[in-house]
Chain A
Amino acid sequence: MFRNDLLINQKTYLFTLAGLVIAIYALLYFSMLTTKHVGINQYSGFIVFYLVCVGVVIGTAFPALTNQTKTSNYLLAPGSTLEKYLVQFVIRIVIFIPIALLIFWISAHLAKASLVPDPNIGFNPQVSITDFSFQSLFNLLYYKDITPTLLGIFSVYAFLFAGSVFFNRFPLPKTLILAGVIVGAVVLSFVLFSHLIFPAETNGFKIHLNIYKITSDTDNMKLFLYFLSCLSWLFFLLFGYFKLKEKEV
């Protein structure tokens, strides 16, 4: 199935990667050229935008499930459901994400290297453009633990991946709408419970989050976010698999 997918979609994959390289290089280069200063804060904006683009690629996994005819072909192709699921998982997540991150790293360095110093305006790329590194991005985070942060991002991607199986038509917009609904529901429930439990401290949507220390370096919010990021990806991946297994045409 893996070979089948690569042979059939090789052009699509190559064009996607080429498009990504050109787009991110151009974006970084022209941004550096016009602003004459890019620090880690600017890079963080680019990387967030870039991770959203990566999410688009992941959220459009299982392109064969977007219409009935293609779905029939796909489901009847000789291969187990697990095999079909893993093929998309490996291509869109295991292989694509590291390649995409590598593309960003190379593009950032290439864009900086492409800039020509201009002594007339005192522009020296080596001084005013910070060298990009992923490590420095983590220093911007509130909770500095790398593993839960990566798992959190992975959970978002797993959610998009599962959404591409769950919805037949326009899976990505529908998944994003669903995400909005879920986040909205969570916020509303926080507001509701905050009103019920802390009526004195709560005013409209201005809620009170009761944060307290559990250990010397862990608070309850951190523990909640860690649990959420460490477990939700597993749930979404399993959900996607069983949804594919039960898919009907």
Chain B
Amino acid sequence: MSYITRTLNSYAMIEINQLTFHYKKQQALFADLSFQQENGSITGLLGKNGAGKSTLLKLIAGLLKPQTGQLTINGFEPFERHPDFLSDVFMVPEEFSFPPVSIDCYLKATAPLYPNFGYEKMDKILQEFELDRKKNINRLSHGQRKKFLIAFALATNCRLLILDEPTNGLDIPSKSLFRKILVSSVTEEQLILISTHQVKDIDTIIDKIVMLDEGVVVFNEDVIKISQRWQFRSAASLTAIADPIYHEKCPGGYRILCEAGDEDETDIDIELLFNAIVNKANLN
């Protein structure tokens, strides 16, 4: 099927049906995973250590081959690693490396591989991140290299951006800048998939939360719907809240998850929601 045909047809950006995957000589990590995701959102992929987040991202990027089931991204099977697929997907891994060349040289060599690369966008983000194009990438600090990688990822204008722990190694101002740049540079045609444990770093920018637990998608909800259905409150004692769904002790009282009534919507406490799901609180 040609690239044009694939583009014109309306595919869900990520389409996973009954996927199974296991590493060699290990138990199945995904036994019957199904998951769909349209473009036009920034999705937070959450889960405990070992839940399979990074593996899922690698499967989506085409770095791993599923044993059975269907996995298509933009109509492509990722593991075929078709050049048109690869030029429309960019992954920012948790650990990364660069060749010992300057930013300029790297851009000259690598940017042409991405047909939609935005050179002006790259310049703008580099300026915002205060990165000097003449510097050797490997002489930058870890945080600066991460910022360069994020800048490059955003400038590729790939329809699928996969960010694995993007805020690890960034200082506080850079985290805030990262959020600002990400929100301002993402278009409706793109899907940003962010896997992180630093939920506070992304809680204001994501518009969908997907949670993985033991190889299963246990939660998949839009942020708007979460706000409409549940309230996240703090109280000195539990008696103040009728029928809390889940609560946790915190300095000064409790953080409480409860059904939303007619009261105003509250900010989402992703950490509390995550813990509620992990502890199998009844959210139905």
Contact = CB atoms under 8 A, between A and B. Distances in A.
Given A69-B96, A73-B97, A81 B81 contact: yes
B63 A75 contact: yes
Contacts of B101: 7-8
A35 interface: no
Interface string A1-43: 1011001110000000000000000000000000000000000
Contacts of A76: 61-63, 81, 86, 89-91
Interface in A51-72: 67-70, 72
A80 B64 contact: no
A79 interface: yes
Contacts of B108: 7
A119 interface: no
Contacts of A3: 109, 112
A243 to B, nearest CB: 13
B134 to A, nearest CB: 16
Nearest to A70: B97
A249 interface: yes
Interface in A192-249: 245-246, 248-249
A70 to B, nearest CB: 6
Contact of A72 (B89, B93, B99, B113): B93
B109 A248 contact: no
B91 A249 contact: no
A28 B118 CA distance: 53
Nearest to B24: A248
B109 A249 contact: no
A77 interface: yes
A3 B99 CA distance: 15
B57 to A, nearest CB: 11
Nearest to B84: A78
Given A7-B105, A248-B65, A80 B83 contact: yes
Contacts of A70: 97
Contacts of A4: 109-110, 112-113
Contacts of A67: 97
Given A1-B113, A7-B108, A248 B86 contact: no
B109 A79 contact: no
Interface of A: 1, 3-4, 7-9, 67-70, 72-73, 75-81, 83, 245-246, 248-249
26 contacts: A4-B109, A7-B105, A7-B108, A7-B109, A8-B99, A8-B105, A8-B109, A67-B97, A68-B95, A69-B95, A72-B91, A73-B96, A75-B63, A76-B61, A78-B83, A78-B87, A78-B113, A79-B83, A79-B86, A80-B83, A81-B81, A246-B65, A248-B63, A248-B65, A249-B58, A249-B64
